[in-house]
Amino acid sequence: MRFTGTWRTILAVLLVVGGAKAQSAVLINAAGSTFGYPIYSKWFSEYHKLHPNVQINYASIGSGGGIAQLTSHTVDWGASDGPMTDQQLSAAGFTILHFPTVLGGVMPFYNIPGVNAELKFTPKALAGIYLGRVTRWNDPEIASANPGVNLPATDIVVIHRSDGSGTTYIWTDFLSKVSPEWKSRVGTSTSVRWPVGLGGKGSEGVTGLVKQTPGAIGYVELIYALSNRIPYGDVQNPAGVFVKATIESVSAAAAGAARNMPADFRVSITNAPGKSSYPISSFTWFLIPAKISDAAKRQATKEFLTWMLMQGQAYAAGLAYAPLPHPVVLQEEKDIARIQ
């Protein structure tokens, strides 16, 4: 086929444009939180539709894995449901910024044959169960909070995460606040030495073990409890009120923190005050290096974070997360400029 001078010019322009587009493609790899995976995958998909040249791949491997891969430079971003400790930040050897993404709740869920009621749990009961001191479902500490429920005298089978997990961080952070024994014996971390129980890998593993084990209790994020249609319990907050995990009750737990957010966004809102506050609530975070040497990745990261704060929050409620409080959004927008 012969081309005229005009067509040669047009073809050359198209080749140059096509080459420029190919060169501008940006691939970002991230890993971490299973807690945040449902909304992160939604965000990355929606953002890619708007910006086809930006592809964000995310591995849902747990917060501990996300922190480990980020600090070893295996991924560009990490994601965690528990903020990194001073020791972890120091050991990383480079500055890591915390960007809250959404809020969520972690709740106890269970499989008790013949019991379909939504149980109520005191902090003492949950700490006792996970310490191995409350061992049967009809224990007075459980029964007294659930009058009228015919609880069986069957053994409680404790299920926990086997991998490093931000969900575990939130759960153990709560138990450390309500139980001095838990705080001294076990403590707060993404991975702990469990006094009792069986481990499941990921939220999916814990959910599967609880569903297939009569008498089991576990802890999981709200989205997984809802999507798997499993009953979960109300938890008593510091005001003495038994509260169900909902978008509203999780948002209520964040209200105080939103007004007094630390500059680095590392904050705990478990066991927050307020009659309507759900006590096992938390922010979840993207972990972003303050210095990104690749200019294209740096620009794409900053633009995505801005989109997440402005447009992405609209997807939160539909996936059983609470959106960020407005004061936190405003504070984060300013912090994006720290990425250099």
Q: What is the DSSP string of 112-146?
A: -TT--S--EE-HHHHHHHHHTS--BTT-HHHHTTS
Average confidence score pLDDT of the chain: 90
In the structure, what pLDDT confidence band is assigned to residue 6 with cuts at 50, 70 and 90? Answer: low
What is the mean predicted confidence (pLDDT) over 8-17? Answer: 45
State the fold for domain 105-256.
D-Maltodextrin-Binding Protein; domain 2 (3.40.190)
d(CA 103, CA 294): 30
In the structure, what pLDDT confidence band is assigned to residue 39 with cuts at 50, 70 and 90? Answer: very high
d(CA 233, CA 19): 56
The reported pLDDT for the residue numbered 3 is 43
Return the HEC string of 202-268. Answer: HHHHHHHHHHHCCCEEEEEEHHHHHHCCCCECEEECCCCCEECCCHHHHHHHHHHHHHCCCCCCCCC
Q: Give residue-wise pLDDT tens across range 180-193.
A: 999 999 999 888 99
Q: Is the separation of the CB atoms in 187 and 176 below 8 Å?
A: yes
Residue holding tokens 């978008």? 247
Residue 245 phi, psi dihedral angles, 5° rounding: -70, 120
In the structure, what pLDDT confidence band is assigned to residue 11 with cuts at 50, 70 and 90? Answer: very low
pLDDT at residue 17 tops 50: no
Q: Give residue-wise pLDDT tens across range 101-135.
A: 999 999 999 999 999 889 999 999 999 999 999 99
Q: How many CB atoms lie within 10 A of CB 91?
A: 10
Percent above pLDDT 90 for the chain: 78
**Beta-sheet pairing, 26-32 with 54-60:** parallel
Domain edges within the chain: 26-104+282-338, 105-256
Instruction: Pick one of 3.30.70.1140, 3.40.50.300, 3.40.190.10, 3.40.630.10 as the CATH number of 26-104+282-338.
Output: 3.40.190.10
Residue holding tokens 């939103």? 258
**Beta-sheet pairing, 234-236 with 242-243:** antiparallel
What is the mean predicted confidence (pLDDT) over 30-48? Answer: 94
